[in-house]
Amino acid sequence: MSTLDPQGRPALSLVFPARDEEPNLGALLDHALATAAQLADDFEVLIVDDGSRDGGAGLVRVRAERDPRIRLISHAAARGYGAALRTGLRAARGELVFFSDADLQFDLGDLVHLLGHARDFDVVAGYRAPRRDPWTRRILARIWGALVRRLFALPVRDIDCAFKLFQRRVLEAVPLASIGAFVNTELLVRVRSAGFRIHQVPVTHRPRRHGRQSGARPRVILRAVVELASLYRELRRPQAPLAAEPQPSRAD
């Protein structure tokens, strides 16, 4: 990939929301820097710390002081996964913007497969093949996916897979409201509703080694259901017709 564009943007941004991921962040930064250096002449790695109570933000801050390709944005208090991702996507400067989780469950080397389709599609979405989460999360994901596909006719096989690549113009055109785990679903629904093209590719998935997963907590699920209902009502709401432009008068 080429270097800075005429507007001074890097070719690629890698965005990682993180909360209490200190055991994973050192290896994540090493992997992200090594991978991106093979794929782009100019890039940035952006960590969004969502009010962590561990030393993760300090670790990233030290690394960022030594390497200007690393950026840290910190929320003073935890706002939620969706809020952290929204912060990162808004702050990303790259012409192509990739995001994933900070838990090391994905192989960032698979980003090369997404970039291979970036010229032909607006969004390239990974799907876990196979998914390595506990069976309870896999069952919940199947139920959630079936519900979303029924409500929004969204032909995506792994809706909540946090391994996606976007053209900058897509993110600039699509508003986001979710502050929780629903953000992945909202992104894809709004992208497709806006007429952008989505391509899917398989990506490697691994069991989590450090930290705890929070996506199956009742509070997280309830928030996602509430946000799903809100988006469904919004998209079904009749749009006000555009006012007709006045026609120029004609002399008899």
Q: How many Å separate Cα 30 from the centre of its chain?
A: 20
> What is the block-wise mean pLDDT of the chain (252 residues), using blocks of 10 residues?
63 97 96 97 97 96 97 96 96 97 95 97 96 87 90 92 97 92 93 95 89 64 87 77 44 36
State the pLDDT at residue 141: 87
State the pLDDT at residue 225: 87
CA gap 87, 19 in Å, rounded: 14
Q: What are the residue boundaries of the structural domains of the chain, listed by start?
A: 12-234
State the pLDDT at residue 136: 87
State the pLDDT at residue 111: 98
DSSP 169-234: HHHHH------STTHHHHHHHHHHHTT--EEEEEE-B----SS---TTSHHHHHHHHHHHHHHHHH
The token duo for 121 is 């599609």
State the pLDDT at residue 183: 93
pTM score, two decimals? 0.86
State the pLDDT at residue 89: 97
**Domain 12-234 CATH assignment equals 3.30.1490.20:** no
State the pLDDT at residue 97: 98
State the pLDDT at residue 236: 84
Question: In the predicted model, what is the mean pLDDT of the chain?
Answer: 89
The 10s digit of each residue's pLDDT in 214-234 is 555 787 788 888 888 889 898
